[in-house]
Amino acid sequence: MSIVGATTTELLARFERGDLSSVEATTAYLDAIALNDQRVKAFLHVDYDHAVAQAKAVDAKRARGEPLGKLAGLPVAVKDVVCTAGQPTTCASRMLKNFVPPYDAHVVTRLRLADAVLIGKTNMDEFAMGSSTENSAFQVTRNPWDLERTPGGSSGGSAAAVAAGMSPLALGTDTGGSIRLPAGYCGVVGMKPTYGRVSRFGLVAYGSSLDQIGPFANDVAGAALLLEVLSGYDRRDSTSVDTPVPEYSRTLEEPLGGLRIGIAKEHFVEGLDREVEQSVRDALEVYRSLGAEIQEISLPHSKYAVAVYYVVAPSEASSNLARYDGVHYGHRAAGFENMIDMYSASRGEGFGPEVKRRIMLGTYALSAGYYDAYYLKALKVRRLIRNDFDKAFESVDVIASPVAPTPAFKIGELIDDPLAMYLSDIYTISANLAGLPGLCLPAGASCDNLPIGLQLLAPPFDEDRLLRAARMFERETQWHKRRAMEVGD
């Protein structure tokens, strides 16, 4: 298999054997970016010289026999909402077009300590607000399987980069499905860890009680290894949880006897594409053949998840984005008459339509006279959603569901229908509201050859079992071996 089609495990094995250097691997991915990204548009920033310099440093350490990190020599793409010292972090927004952070996010520090090669910053929906990566201020990312379709969002650039063979690993963020949805649309593995498992220090905040950083890879082993590197306590993040991190990559192949899989009856209703439903049910038959027990469960409050999310997340966004006022940093309008006019003009020019929409929604929900009616009530229903999961996990180990109601939709198809766009996340939002870990892996293909994903959810901090359950399915199928290599033809 070619370098850019290899898994992380295969690449690391070749590094160890000495028949592939980090410079050779990094150059191969940089060449793939040069060849494919004019069409896919996954990257906002690629520093070719710096990436090669990092790879040379790893090769030198290996030649000297020095200890190496777990990702030694592997390129990793980083979503452009995660701070990288000395390199742009724009959040795909005009507001931060010229922002260069003076420090690294915690996860970027972990990547550097693991000897990863930071290959570039990926496109996204502006400030992570969107489900299609069409809301970027700079470019629209396209799905490598069909360039007329969306890769999902908001982490569409990271998912497309992995799917198109432009990086073996990538970081994304997930506030309401922004890792799992693009992973499903692009046919790769994407994982949202438990809230608190991975530090958010250095992540530009959207919804602070919802945001999590997680991995993309082209197989479960790659996602497990990257999550292992990212996870752990960070005192700089008050939401970081000080709990031991299992060695996910070491336990991945251990069998899960007596696995109990829950299927929520609320997930298989009108609006679910027939091909998606069939792929999920076929996946369940694979698990059944491996001895798993399939149980029907109920998540009765899941029908309120979208409504709750679009009160909680915009409310938090309204607060978090108030700092972009044209004074401290970020875009400042060139012409204004007074301070109020400067605030208005700067924010009006700096933010795109979807960000403005969510700020206004959140500001309204938090305003005097409406806080109790909207935000407080949403928090109460959020608790009920978590209670549903807690009850379900008393009888099952993981919950399986679709990732999205349909395969990837066409670019422009939903951009003028915000409600329809929001419903793309109907199966993923609940995990964020409940703080659960969730994973998407390839599980089928539509008649148009578009990837279809399977979502698995587990109890809090049970990523180990979640990854092992995903690997059980992956070991028995070939879906993860499909590559969107036609992009480079």
Supply the residues annotated as catalytic: 79, 154, 178
Query: SS3 string of the chain?
Result: CCHHHCCHHHHHHHHHHCCCCHHHHHHHHHHHHHHHHHHHCCEEECCHHHHHHHHHHHHHHHHHCCCCCCCCCCEEEEECCECCCCCCCCCCCHHHCCCCCCCCCHHHHHHHHCCCEEEEEECCCHHHCCCCCCCCCCCCCCECCECCECCCCCCHHHHHHHHCCCCCEEEEEECCCCCHHHHHHHCCEEEECCCCCCCCCCECCCCCCCCEEEEEECCHHHHHHHHHHHCCCCCCCCCCCCCCCCCHHHHCCCCCCCCEEEEEHHHCCCCCCHHHHHHHHHHHHHHHHCCCEEEEECCHHHHHHHHHHHHHHHHHHHHHHHHCCCCCCCCCCCCCCCHHHHHHHHHHHHCCHHHHHHHHHHHHHHCCCCHHHHHHHHHHHHHHHHHHHHHHCCCCCEEEEECCCCCCCECCCCCCCHHHHHHHHCCCHHHHHHCCCEEEEEEEECCCCCEEEEEEECCCCCHHHHHHHHHHHHHHCCHHHCCCHHHHC
